[in-house]
Amino acid sequence: MSPAISLRGIRKSYGRNTALDGLDLDVGEGEFFCLLGPSGAGKTTTLKTVAGLEEPQSGTVSLDGADMTGVEPYDRGVAMCFESYALYPHRSAYDNLASPLRSPRHRLPAAEAHERIGAVADLLGIGALLDRPVGRLSNGQRQRVALGRVLVRPARAFLLDEPLSHLDAKLRQAMRAELKAIGAVRRTTTLYVTHDSVEALALGDRIGVIREGRIVQTGTREEIWHQPYDTFVARSFGRPRINLLPGTVTGHGTFLSADRFFEIPLSPPAVRSAAPGTPVQIGVRPRDLSLGPGPVELTGTVYITEVLGRATEVTVRLGGSTCRWSRRARTPPGCGPTLR
């Protein structure tokens, strides 16, 4: 079966700026796919290319296996939530939600439309705001209206561009949890763009990491987390960031830090991928470190300690490099002592 959304070799540039540089992407039927990347990586352009709002210079977009080249946005049957909301400022929240249901493509009888709009509005907690002109809504409320405009209508795919970014922290967390439970979202292929790795990990059935107009890696959250393709992907997930320590692979299957301060054993598959003497970086997630004896032990000096409520982040000096370590400890170690 062909993927619901498929992009092949998409190239799009604006004058001298290249937005998408041969991008390939497949999103399966009914899948919730998160596209994660820094700003300017080409996330929005990808969505707009799928929607038919941007025409790539080369490459093809297929939906359900059908080539979409030259197909107008209104004939593609996808719904998109814009980061800028793109709400019609001269109309009420209700009319904005009703807009797709009054269009020639998705027209519903007024009574039926009314019912659907009511249901979606209640779902998003904006039922009481429907009569207001969108100009009098807060950013968070507007964002929910924009999301609602996508959810009220049938679509072969939802394209969501940072749909939670303007909500306040508490609401964002609640919406993030609820979003995937929404029936329409559960059934519909969704391409979700975000710059927030937590959001991507929480929501995505699969995650794609995009940089400079190219997909760097796609995979499930476990694959992305444990086997990042490169340091960019590794650094994109997890706060505090993964520790990347430079060094070399030795002849007897260990990692020797660049300043020869410490040496740790490597797992056999890791050793097989690099010949002895190869300069490498070893990635250690701060959460995977712990205090006390273990299979691998490192000794360093506490440099900075930050108590951040639930967790404590400790920066430890290991010879010439520093290593961050996150722990749930209630009593953080003070500065200065040597840790084992």
Partner 1 sequence: MSPSLTGTGHGAASRGGGGPPARAVPHWRRGLRPYLLIVPALLLTGGILYPFGLGLYYTVFDFAASKPQPDMVGPENYRRIFTESSFWESARVTVLYAVGAAAVETVLGVGVALLLHGSTRVGRVLEKILILPLMIAPVIAAIMWKLMLQPSVGVINHLLEPFGMGGVQWTDTPAGALLSSIAVDVWIYTPFVAILALAGLRSLPASPFEAAAVDGAGWWFTFRKLTLPMLWPYVLVAVIFRFMDSLKVFDIIYALTEGGPGDSTVVLQIRAYLEAIRFQRYSFGISYMIVLWAVVYLVTMVLVRYLGKVQNRAAEVPK
Partner 2 sequence: MKRRLLAVAADGALILYFVFALFPVAWMIILSLKPANELFSTYFSFTPTLDAYRTVLGAGSDEGVPFLRFFVNSLVVSLGAVGLSLVIGLPAAYAAARWRFRGSENLMFTLLSFRFAPELTVIIPLFVLYQKLGLFDSYVGMVWVLQLVTLPLIVWIMRSYFSDLSPELEQAALLDGYTRKQAFFKVALPLVGPGIAAVSLLAFIFAWNNFVFPLVLTSSEAQTVTVGALSFLGGDRPKYNLTAAAALVSVVPPLLLALTIQRYLVRGLSFGAVKS
Q: Which residues are near partner 2 by CB under 8 A?
A: 48, 51-53, 72-74, 78-80, 82, 84, 86-90, 99-100, 103-106, 149, 153
Instruction: Give yes or no for a contact between 193 and 207, defined as CB atoms under 8 angstroms apart.
Output: no
Per CB under 8 A, the list member of 8, 91, 106, 114 interacting with partner 1 is 106
Q: Applying CB under 8 A, does 48 fall inside the site for partner 1?
A: no
Part of the chain binding partner 1 (CB under 8 A), chosen from 151-159, 231-239, 275-283, 323-331? 151-159
Q: From the list partner 1, partner 2, none, pick the one residue 88 interacts with, judged by a Cβ distance below 5 to 8 Å according to partner type.
A: partner 2
Among 90, 170, 187, 310, binds partner 1 (CB under 8 A): 187
Structure-token pair, residue 195:
């710059």
Query: Residue 37 has which token pair?
Result: 């990347």
> Which of 53, 86, 182, 202 is in the footprint of partner 1 by CB under 8 A?
182
181 scored as a contact of partner 1 (CB under 8 A): yes
Number of residues binding to partner 1, judged by CB under 8 A = 31
- Residue 174: CB atoms within 10 Å: 13
Cα 306 to the center of its chain, rounded Å = 27
- Positions 255 through 314 that interact with partner 1 (CB under 8 A): none
Closer to partner 1 by CB, 71 or 339: give it.
71
Angle of the 110-124 helix axis to the 93-102 helix axis, nearest 10: 130
Residue 240 site contact among partner 2, partner 1, none (CB < 5 to 8 Å, cut-off depends on kind): none
The nearer residue to partner 1, 67 or 288, going by C-beta atoms, is: 67
CB 122 to partner 1: min, Å: 6
| Beta carbon of residue 195, minimum distance to partner 2 (angstroms, whole number) | 19
- Give DSSP secondary structure letters for 269-307: HHHHTS-TT-EEEEEE-GGG--SS--SS---EEEEEEEE
Handedness of CA 16, 18, 19, 20 (dihedral sign): positive
Give the helix/strand (H/E) hosting 249.
strand 243-249
| Cβ closest to partner 2, residue 149 vs residue 172 | 149
Using CB distances below 5 to 8 A depending on partner kind, what does residue 122 bind out of partner 1, partner 2, none?
Answer: partner 1
Q: Which is nearer to partner 2, 77 or 240 (CB)?
A: 77
Reading phi first (left if > 0) and then psi (alpha if -120 to 50, else beta), residue 290 is in beta
Q: Spell out the long-range contacts of 205-208 with Cβ–Cβ below 8 A and sequence spacing 24 or more.
A: 205/31, 205/32, 205/33, 206/27, 206/28, 206/31, 206/33, 206/34, 207/33, 207/34, 207/35, 207/36, 208/25, 208/33, 208/34, 208/35, 208/36
Task: Name the residue among 224, 213, 216 with its Cα closest to residue 285.
Answer: 224
Binding mask 115-134 for partner 1 (x = CB under 8 A): xx--xx-xx-----------
Compare residues 4 and 234 and give the one whose CB is closer to partner 2: 4
Q: Which does 139 bind (CB under 5 to 8 A by kind): partner 1, partner 2, none?
A: none
Return the number of other C-beta atoms located less than 10 Å from residue 157's C-beta: 24
244 binds partner 1 (CB under 8 A): no
72 versus 131: smaller Cβ distance to partner 2: 72
**Is-contact 143 166, C-beta < 8 A?**
yes
As beta bridge partners, residue 210 has 215
Chain residues that interact with partner 1, rule: CB under 8 A: 55, 66-72, 75-77, 105-106, 115-116, 119-120, 122-123, 151, 153-156, 178, 181-184, 187-188
